[in-house]
Amino acid sequence: MKLLEQAGCRVEFPLDQTCCGQPAYNGGFRKEARAQTRQTLDVLDATDGPIVVPSGSCAAMLIHHSPELVGDDADYGAKATRVAERTRELTSFLVEDLGFTPADVAGGHTATYHASCHGLRGLGIKQQPKRLLDDVGVTRVELTGEDECCGFGGLFSIKSPEVSVAMMETKIAQIEASGADTVVGVDVSCLMHIGGGLKRRGSPIRTRHIAEILAGDDQ
């Protein structure tokens, strides 16, 4: 919110929004996902302007999957198309739509960027966050295997905990090898997973959503 206002936006937040339905959609629970998608579309279609989503995964749901999910209903199909056209992932909105350059506010941390799968492969989010991190003045180091899945995958992390954790451990080893003290991402779900693993292992490495860094809340 603070970041968007710094970038000169007037921000609205419709209180009736809940969940876009992506967990149910990915789980193969189409009926449940459809109900959630309709709820989300009703709320968002009643607003104006760009719909900015601080998660590549939720944005990909609204842009790619919602129209497909409710496409057989003329009314909701039209809503889904309108909403999809207005939806932007946060960093691509800042870089591509606003041409925003954040203030040089980052203090002393060494950060590395983890590319979340759905943002990366569904929306082409790759360079935008790195550019913003460079602009904000953090010391940024590259992450080997930056585009490899951290193993979260929503319900996958609960249904297949062994593989999920093994993938997470590979990711954590790569993060440790990078020398960073902070992992930055554009999706809180991956950060929750990586962060939960780091915490359990007693690691001092922190996880931060890119908005926290850009808004200057991470001193």
Partner 1 sequence: MTTFRERIQDAFAEGVPIAIDRGARGHYEHRAEAAAVFPQMEPMRDRARQIRAEVLANLDVHLRQFADSVERNGGVVFFAADAAEACDYIVGLARREGITRAVKVKSMVTEEIHLNAALEDAGVETVETDLGEFIVQLAGETPSHIIAPVLHKNRQQIGELFAERLGVDYTDDPGELNEIARDYLRERFLTAGMGISGANFGVADDGSIALVTNEGNGRLCTTAPRIHVAVMGMERLVRDRRDLAVMLEVLARSATGQGLSSYTNIVSGPRRIGEPDGPDQFHVVIVDNGRSATLGSRVAEILYCIRCGACLNACPVYRHVGGHAYGSVYPGPIGKVLTPSLYGLEQWHELPATSSLCGACQEVCPVRIDIPKLLVELRNESTHELSAGLRRGLAIYAGVTTHPRVFRLLTRTAALVAGVWSRDGWMRRIPVLRNWTRDRELPAPAPETFHDWWRKRGA
Binding site for partner 1 (CB under 8 A): 1, 13, 15-19, 21, 23-30, 32-33, 35-36, 38-39, 43, 117-118, 121-122, 147-149, 151-168, 170, 192-193, 195-197, 199-200
End-to-end, the C-alpha distance of the chain in Å comes to: 18
**Choice between 103 and 163, CB closer to partner 1:** 163
**Choice between 76 and 136, CB closer to partner 1:** 76
**Choice between 26 and 139, CB closer to partner 1:** 26
Minimum distance from residue 187 beta carbon to partner 1 (Å):
12
**Choice between 164 and 182, CB closer to partner 1:** 164
Minimum distance from residue 99 beta carbon to partner 1 (Å):
27
Minimum distance from residue 104 beta carbon to partner 1 (Å):
27
Q: What per-residue string of b and e applies to 113-124 under the rule 16 or more CB within 10 Å gives b?
A: bbbbbbbbebbe
Q: Which long-range contacts (CB under 8 A, 24 or more apart) does 156-163 make?
A: 157/193
Minimum distance from residue 101 beta carbon to partner 1 (Å):
26
**Choice between 13 and 99, CB closer to partner 1:** 13
